[in-house]
């Protein structure tokens, strides 16, 4: 979850001309609904600001084939991986959040290796295919504000959803309810 500071940072990068692409878990693929509830509050602002936001799909042959090589289970991502300037790589389980800084003992490594960075970018490109994830965008339908839209591919056809795909009303309600709780500082 980027929180206000992380959102400002990512949007600032976009304003400076940096291409920012993020792949995270969809609601259907997450194993921590409370964290998804926190992240959900920032999606619209990130997409409006030009961040390319992708959410991993929970199922599908393509996900199962690629997942092990990119640091995820068949259902969700856990490793935090960044590539910067086509040469520096961060890989770890450390969450960029106050909770990780103050309470957890998770960590990460920064490696300056253009070859490793290139391999991770290749893996990312495979993971963000629309058969493996949902790409978030805003869709204007009428005079109202644009709706958050999930776009993907199923059996070679482009599909769009206006709510978290592959989820039940109960899942969406639970995440909405969790989003009302004052727990963001603990996530």
pLDDT digits (tens, 9 = 90+) for 53-103: 999 998 754 444 444 444 444 455 567 888 988 899 998 887 666 666 677
- Could you tell me if residue 27 is left (phi over 0), alpha (psi between -120 and 50 degrees) or otherwise beta? alpha
Q: Could you tell me the CA-to-CA distances from 34 to 29, 113, 183, 186, 187 in Å, in that order?
A: 13, 35, 8, 10, 7
Q: What is the pLDDT of residue 116?
A: 94
Q: Which residue has the higher pLDDT, 20 or 96?
A: 20
66 close to 126: Cβ distance less than 8 angstroms: yes
pLDDT, residue 71, reads: 43
pTM across the whole model: 0.83
Contact predicate 90/116, CB 8 Å: no
Mean pLDDT of the chain: 84
Q: Report d(CA 149, CA 151) in Å as an integer.
A: 6
Unique residue bearing structure tokens 């693929």: 29
- What pLDDT, on a 0 to 100 scale, did the predictor assign at position 111? 93
pLDDT at 73: 43
């Amino acid at each position: 979850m980027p929180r206000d500071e992380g959102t400002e940072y990512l949007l600032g990068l976009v304003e400076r001309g940096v291409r920012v692409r993020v792949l995270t878990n969809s609601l259907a693929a997450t194993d921590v609904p409370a964290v998804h509830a926190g992240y959900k509050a920032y999606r619209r602002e990130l997409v409006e600001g030009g961040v390319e936001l992708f959410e991993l799909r929970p199922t599908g042959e393509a996900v199962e084939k690629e997942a092990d090589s990119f640091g995820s289970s068949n259902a969700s991502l856990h490793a935090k991986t960044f590539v910067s300037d086509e040469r520096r790589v961060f890989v770890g389980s450390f969450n960029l959040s106050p909770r990780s800084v103050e309470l957890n003992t998770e960590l990460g490594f920064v490696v300056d290796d253009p070859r490793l960075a290139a391999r991770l970018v290749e893996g990312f490109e495979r993971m963000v295919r629309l058969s493996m994830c949902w790409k978030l965008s805003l869709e204007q339908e009428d005079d109202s504000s644009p709706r958050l839209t999930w776009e993907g591919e199923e059996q070679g056809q482009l599909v769009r959803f206006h709510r978290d795909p592959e989820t039940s009303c109960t899942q969406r309600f639970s995440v909405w309810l969790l989003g009302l709780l004052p727990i963001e500082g603990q996530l």
